Amino acid sequence: MDNKDQLLNKRAKAKEGGGEERLKKQHAQGKLSARERIDVLLDSDSFNEIGGLVEHRSTAFGLEKQKIPGDGVVTGYGTIHGRLIYVFSQDFTVLGGSLSETHAGKICRIMDLALKNGAPLIGLNDSGGARIQEGVVSLAGYADIFYRNTRASGVIPQLSVIMGPCAGGAVYSPALTDFVFMVEETSYMFVTGPNVVKTVTHEEVTSEDLGGAKAHAEKSGVNHFIGGNDVECLKMVRDFITYIPQNCQELAPHPSVFEFDKSNLEKIESIIPENATMPYDIRKVITFVIDASSFREVHKDFATNIVVGFARLEGRTIGVVANQPISLAGVLDIDSSRKGARFVRFCDAFNIPLLVFEDVPGFLPGTDQEWRGIITHGAKLLYAFSEATVPRITVITRKAYGGAFDVMNSKSIGSDLNFAWPTAEIAVMGAKGAAEIIFKKEIASADNREEKWLEKEAEYAEMFANPYRAAERGIIDEVIFPKETRSRLISGFKMLENKTEKLPNKKHGNIPL
């Protein structure tokens, strides 16, 4: 066999992966192969493979007879919408996609290149975990990856796409990345599987219920996005990339073409109910302000009392954080605070301006929240906003009560512009509770206590349940009509384009983890 034939033969063997039978099994499960996934993810004919002929070096347990070029992971670089992207795609058809010393080395090589060249890293995970035949070296391989994930955090965007099993130590790499995508019914993540759970805790649970896409989207918050199948999930990733920059030194892409329906400016006026206790969907406010069809919600099914996601204003990417009145009245609790804080920190790390829509009655009371640490978790959101140096604008649509008012990007913690609608209520607490405290003696001595209470409640509401006292003190920059919101935001963010703010010199802060 001449040199040319030898190379062609090795390349062909690498592309075969685990062979035709295993590939058929992969397809039968509704899953694409590692290379097919890359073809869907990247621009056509843009992929350049690195390490395609790498083989493992183990001889234990007969592994010397199971050498396949590539060693269970396809690595390289290509483009998405013309922008440089680094990618690794684990191949479950080769030894279950298990991670060996050389498999890990290939991933680390790609991670190093991504960091050096300032481009996003996307990992397509489909692996049975560490290659146990190699023992501790496979575990060391995971640690090498975790170390690089941490070093790259906040420098380049890192996306994890779970497209099959991801168990044991393997789950920590996705957890260290910025966003996790999962595929419905074919992917799962857990530290210990159903069999171990049954042995240790005597709980019987399926892989899907324990660590499936839906479980992690709704209950744990590990998963940010769900795709119905491999192709849908990968197309979501391609779309998502258009909202984020290449690295922490750059800005997100700025499409010159955008659409906005001007009739939204009139529709927005009728969103807030006349009865202040009635809920409404904050997504309508977001939708009527931003560019048409540009909102990409993150963590849609987790901690639904807060809404976060990416949107565009005249083509420019912004990060949106908004209290959601139709879920728990929009209160802040442990999960919503964690969700908001994580999103704020990503936006700040990658130069994405922040827009906050505020309608918050306070923090969720109760023993469950207190005993599980609402104080510490709520402080995470406070810390994230306080530390953020990107342009920040807040719009108070209705309630802004108590400490939650401070936490939701108030001027006192560094917000650049704060607007309020005429429906805004900015106060220490709601009128009913405040009247009960302030006028306690008067109410107690009144002949008709209920009538007196209502009278004092109305008195307090007239004094404080509006945005004007805050505006008089400069705590609010301007009271605006809802239909003016989009133009004020566009003008405000343009004004803040060259904002420069530096944090005090330090190694790093001690966020309340």
Question: Are 199 and 281 part of one and the same domain?
Answer: no
Q: How many residues does the chain have?
A: 513
CA proximity to 377, closest of 510, 511, 508: 511
Interatomic CA distance for residues 111 and 91, integer angstroms: 18
Residues 6+ apart with CB under 8 A from 21: none
What is the pTM for the complete model shown?
0.94
Question: Are 402 and 331 part of one and the same domain?
Answer: yes
Catalytic positions, please?
A: 168-169, 403-404
Interatomic CA distance for residues 384 and 382, integer angstroms: 6
The values of phi and psi at residue 489, to 5°, are -70, -45
Residue 163 lies in a domain: yes
Interatomic CA distance for residues 16 and 104, integer angstroms: 20
Residue 73 lies in a domain: yes
Residue 1 lies in a domain: no
- Please tell me whether residue 290 adopts helix, strand or coil conformation: coil
Q: What CATH number should be reported for the domain holding residue 190?
A: 3.90.226.10
> How many structural domains is the chain composed of?
3
Q: Treating both helix axes as pointing N-terminal to C-terminal, what angle do 334-349 and 374-387 enclose, rounded to 10 degrees?
A: 20
Residue 255 lies in a domain: no
- Please tell me whether residue 306 adopts helix, strand or coil conformation: strand
CA proximity to 423, closest of 402, 399, 405, 401: 399
Structure tokens at 489: 């935001």
Question: Are 218 and 271 part of one and the same domain?
Answer: no
Structure tokens at 61: 């347990």
Question: Are 56 and 176 part of one and the same domain?
Answer: yes
Residue 21, judged by CB atoms within 10 A of its CB (0-12, 13-18, 19+), counts as exposed
Interatomic CA distance for residues 327 and 280, integer angstroms: 9
Residue 377 lies in a domain: yes
Structure tokens at 92: 């479950």
Amino acid at 9: N
CA proximity to 186, closest of 240, 126, 239, 128: 126
Question: Are 279 and 399 part of one and the same domain?
Answer: yes
Residue 468: C-alpha distances to residues 172, 181, 389, 439 (Å): 49, 44, 28, 23
The pLDDT of residue 430? 67
Question: Are 68 and 138 part of one and the same domain?
Answer: yes
Residue 12 lies in a domain: no
Residue 357 lies in a domain: yes
Question: Are 272 and 192 part of one and the same domain?
Answer: no
Residues 6+ apart with CB under 8 A from 371: none
| Local confidence pLDDT in tens for the 513 residues of the chain | 677 888 888 888 878 777 888 899 999 999 999 999 999 999 999 999 999 877 767 766 666 677 777 788 999 999 999 999 999 999 998 888 888 889 999 999 999 999 999 999 999 999 888 777 777 888 899 999 999 999 999 999 999 999 999 988 889 999 999 999 999 999 999 998 899 999 999 999 999 999 999 999 999 999 999 999 999 999 999 999 999 999 999 999 998 899 999 999 999 999 999 988 899 999 999 999 999 999 999 999 999 999 999 999 999 999 999 999 999 999 999 999 999 999 999 999 999 999 999 999 999 999 999 999 999 999 999 999 999 999 999 999 999 998 999 999 999 999 999 999 999 999 877 666 666 667 666 766 666 766 665 666 666 767 767 899 889 999 999 999 999 999 999 999 999 999 999 999 999 999 999
Amino acid at 488: R
Q: Which of 241, 256, 277 is the last residue of a domain?
A: 241
The pLDDT of residue 130? 79
Interatomic CA distance for residues 375 and 377, integer angstroms: 6
Residues 6+ apart with CB under 8 A from 409: 321, 354, 356, 358, 385, 392, 394, 415, 418
Interatomic CA distance for residues 164 and 104, integer angstroms: 18
Identify the domain containing residue 437 by its residue range. Answer: 431-464
Question: Are 440 and 292 part of one and the same domain?
Answer: no
Residue 252 lies in a domain: no
Question: Are 74 and 218 part of one and the same domain?
Answer: yes
Interatomic CA distance for residues 181 and 29, integer angstroms: 18
Residue 339: C-alpha distances to residues 227, 308, 329 (Å): 20, 8, 17
Question: Are 271 and 417 part of one and the same domain?
Answer: yes
CA proximity to 212, closest of 198, 222, 197, 200: 222
Question: Are 437 and 320 part of one and the same domain?
Answer: no
Cβ distance 425 to 385 under 8 Å? Answer: no
Helix (H) or strand (E) holding 236: helix 230-241
The pLDDT of residue 4? 84
Question: Are 168 and 282 part of one and the same domain?
Answer: no
